[in-house]
Amino acid sequence: MTMEPKYKRIVLKLSGEAMAGDKGIGIDSSVVRLYASEIKKISELGVETCIVVGGGNFWRGRDSQDMDRATSDYMGMLGTVMNALALQDALEQMDVITRVMTAIEMKEVAEPYIRRRAIRHLEKQRVVIFSGGIGNPYFSTDTTAALRAAEIDAEVILLAKKGVDGIYDSDPNVNPDAVKYERLDYIEILKKNLKIMDSTATSLCMENKIPLIVFGIDNENNIYDVVMGKTLGTHVE
Ligand code: UDP
């Protein structure tokens, strides 16, 4: 019996933290290679795969108290481009055809984001990496994942987290009695103010009825397993 993937088109959100591995900041190329090999596996199954990369391993807009917020956010967006290039490089070394798209034009580095072109790449089985967030300050890469998933009609957003394996009722790294949810509604996330994505991203997913799976990336096989339909982490609808 051949195993069929559960999804045809996905958005995988990789946080900047995940790109840093245990180093905490910058890029750990050995973990990036591990993610790349998982992405290769799902892409070879024919899953149309987009990746939205975060940038928190380099810079977060809110990190600076005394800078102009928009300027600080642009620095954060540029960090995501570095992560995208590192991931592209790791994938290409494994012969996976990829395209990096940027929400802020920098044509010498990567293609500008054009929705129809992104969809065409997916149809041709190219892995598409979205960088630069949505290209506007005051937003996050979680919101980017939600927006791009809606735009390209992805079936699901896979939110890969480092250091936590799902959504809990309180921070499991602080409260040892924290309880993990297996299923949740978006409205509960908003009502309970669960800090899993910012409220802009949560609302966008809710309004556009995009299912979300929050799972841990510390076991890198999880990317493959979740695409194959294994019950992992927390499912949100
Ligand atoms: N950012 C932004 N607009 C966007 C996406 C990101 O201004 O559309 C900036 C923001 O400053 C953010 C930083 O880029 O803090 C890095 O993104 P994020 O914090 O979402 O990365 P992650 O937490 O996933 O590593």
**CATH of residue 222:** 3.40.1160.10
C-beta atoms surrounding 78 within 10 Å: 18
Q: How far apart are CA 226 and CA 13, in angstroms?
A: 13
Q: Which of 73, 196, 197 to mutate to test the pocket of ligand 1 (most atoms within 8 A of CB)?
A: 73
Q: Is residue 3 part of a domain?
A: no
Q: Is residue 152 part of a domain?
A: yes
Question: Is the CB of residue 77 below 6 angstroms from any atom belonging to ligand 1?
Answer: yes
Q: What is the pLDDT of residue 127?
A: 98
Q: Is residue 2 part of a domain?
A: no
Q: Is residue 4 part of a domain?
A: no
Residue 158 lies in domain: 9-236
Q: Is residue 143 part of a domain?
A: yes
Does the structure show a pLDDT above 80 at 146? yes
Question: Is the CB of residue 198 below 6 angstroms from any atom belonging to ligand 1?
Answer: no
pLDDT digits (tens, 9 = 90+) for 76-133: 999 999 999 999 999 999 999 999 999 999 999 999 999 999 999 999 999 999 999 9
What percent of the chain is predicted at pLDDT more than 90? Answer: 92
Q: Is residue 118 part of a domain?
A: yes
Question: Within its chain, how far is the Cα of 156 from the centroid?
Answer: 11
Instruction: For residue 2, name the pLDDT band (cuts at 50, 70, 90).
Output: low
**DSSP assigned state of 11:** E
In ligand 1, the atom with minimum distance to the C-alpha of 103 is 8
Question: Is the CB of residue 122 below 6 angstroms from any atom belonging to ligand 1?
Answer: no
Tokens read off for 5: 């993937």
Q: Is residue 78 part of a domain?
A: yes
Q: Is residue 1 part of a domain?
A: no
Question: Within its chain, how far is the Cα of 92 from the centroid?
Answer: 19
Our CA dihedral for 111, 145, 160, 180, rounded to 10 degrees, sits at: 180
Compute the average pLDDT of residues 185-214: 94
Number of folded domains that form the chain? 1
> Measured in angstroms, how far is the CA atom of residue 76 from the centroid of ligand 1?
5
C-beta atoms surrounding 125 within 10 Å: 14
Pick from 18, 17, 56, 15: which is nearest to 34 by CA? 18
C-beta atoms surrounding 129 within 10 Å: 28
Q: Is 126 left (phi over 0), alpha (psi -120 to 50) or beta?
A: beta
Arithmetic mean of pLDDT over the chain: 95
Does the structure show a pLDDT above 80 at 1? no
Question: Is the CB of residue 130 below 6 angstroms from any atom belonging to ligand 1?
Answer: no
